[in-house]
Amino acid sequence: MSDGPFRPFLAAHGFAVLDGGLATALEAAGHVLDSSLWSARLLLGDCDAVSAVHSAYLRAGADCITSAGYQASFEGLRDAGLDDAEAESVLRRAVSLAVQARDAFWSDLGGAARRLKPLVAASAGPYGAYLADGSEYRGRYGVGREALVTFHRARLDVLADTAADVIAFETVPSGIEVEAIATAMAGRGEVPAWIAFSCRDDETLRDGTPIVDAVRACDPVEAFVAIGVNCTAPMHVAGLIERIVSVTDRDVIVYPNSGEAYDPGRRGWTGAPDAWVGRASEWQSAGARIIGGCCRVGPEDIAALRVVLEAAGGRSGGTP
């Protein structure tokens, strides 16, 4: 697209840097996130912790921070005992905390010439995030397309009415959910959004849908300013980018995991981190212009990422 919230960053620097894993930074600070609401649980009682993580990523050089709403949905919040009015308040609070952190950071900078004002993305996780059973790593929920449309549309109606600069549909693992999100977004050209798929290899989503088919399903939706992948092993990302750019001219967004693997049964991570930051210039060369991190990627990684992207040929524009 010729416009959209990332356009000033891409024009000025040649790239935009996203933040890393919100839950990763919260856990590093000592918070236990073992409830079905995951990091969204802190929206009910420890908002300062969420704000502190947003601020840490901004200081690290992120051009865009993502709200704590990934696992917040009407269905999940009802299960936690909230009514729909209270659930809507939580969804709005997630965005407000990110906006307030961004605005405070910007005010402290005093509008420094070397920095564009960072963006706020309203996170919208997949249906599997509500199930809290690792389904976003499988992509098979046992519900039909219309149920998924209803799930995403209800939350979208709220997030589109917040101060977020863009909505982030994240960790989408299945073709049917891609179609449901595209349906929910149809006719909403005034609401910028990105969609990022969770993939099992360098060709397919978690459920086996070819990524080129998922991209084609999204390409007609005017509101999508970027299409890409997240919550995916770094070693698959370059191949996925090549397939994405072969079927769309939308900006490509990638924010993979550290390289460790999540075990839903143990609710923990196994393996060792990949050379995550070292691969970033490869992703940039392959065609990704908006790059960040997901699970197990922290503020120190994002700071290093910015240095790598600038050294790889992006124009100067890092942290002051």
Q: What is the CATH number of the domain that holds 250?
A: 3.20.20.330
Does residue 320 lie in a domain region?
Answer: no
Mean pLDDT of 106-123: 85
Does residue 112 lie in a domain region?
Answer: yes
Residue 54 in contact with residue 97, Cβ under 8 Å? yes
Maximum average pLDDT range among 97-111, 238-252, 296-310? 238-252
Greater pLDDT, 65 or 38: 65
Q: Whose CA is closest to 203, among 192, 190, 213, 218?
A: 213
Mean pLDDT of 255-279: 70
- The H or E element spanning position 263 is strand 261-263
Does residue 97 lie in a domain region?
Answer: yes
Does residue 316 lie in a domain region?
Answer: no
Least confident window among 26-40, 80-94, 104-118, 157-171: 26-40
Does residue 59 lie in a domain region?
Answer: yes
pLDDT of residue 259: 67
Q: What whole-number percentage of the chain has pLDDT above 70?
A: 87
Spatial neighbors of 227 by CB under 8 A, at least 6 apart, are 194, 195, 196, 215, 218, 219, 244, 248, 250, 251, 252, 253
Does residue 67 lie in a domain region?
Answer: yes
Banded model confidence at residue 27, pLDDT cuts 50, 70, 90: confident
Classify residue 277 by its DSSP letter: G
Does residue 63 lie in a domain region?
Answer: yes
Greater pLDDT, 148 or 114: 148
pLDDT of residue 267: 59
Overall domain count for the chain: 1
- For the cut 90, the answer to whether the pLDDT of residue 174 exceeds it is yes
> Which domain does 39 fall in, by range?
7-311
Does residue 1 lie in a domain region?
Answer: no
